[in-house]
Amino acid sequence: MIDSNSELSREVIIVNELGLHARSAAKIAALANHSKASIWLKKGKERADASSILDILTLACEKGSKITIRIENKADADILAAITELVEGGFKEPADLK
C-alpha cells in the first residue's frame, strides 16, 4: 500500500505541435527509468507507466492535452521536476516542431 503522503504530482499541458509522440515518450521513459519507485502519467481516466514508451503512447496526447505526472516516492522529486520541465519546454525539440 502506498502512503498518500509520500506521493507527489504535477499537472502539465502538452505544448509542442506534434504532441506526445515516440521521441518525446522516449525522453520521459529515460528519466522515469532512474526512479526509485513507479512514476505514472495520467490523462483523464487513463494511466500509463512513465518508464514504458509504449504505455505512454497509449495515452494519445496531442497538443493541448492535460496530463498529470505522479511519483510514488518523494525521493524522486527531482525526476518529477525534470519531466515537468521537459514537457513544459516542448521536449526540447526545435521551434518548428513545437
Alpha helices by DSSP H, listed for the chain, are 22-32, 53-57, 77-88
Residue 76: CB atoms within 10 Å: 22
Q: What residue ranges define each of the domains in the chain, with the CATH number in brackets?
A: 8-93 (3.30.1340.10)
User: pTM for the whole thing?
Assistant: 0.88
Rounded Cα–Cα distance for residues 70 and 80 (Å): 8
Set 10, 18, 21, 37: catalytic member: 21
C-alpha cell at 17: 505541435
pLDDT, tens digit, 9 for 90 and up, residues 44-94: 999 999 999 999 999 999 999 999 999 999 999 999 999 999 999 999 877
Rounded Cα–Cα distance for residues 95 and 57 (Å): 22
Mean pLDDT confidence for 29-33: 98
**Which pLDDT score is estimated for 1?**
35
**Which pLDDT score is estimated for 6?**
57
Q: Which of 70, 84, 64 is nearest to 38 (CA)?
A: 70
**Which pLDDT score is estimated for 92?**
83
**Does residue 21 carry a catalytic annotation?**
yes
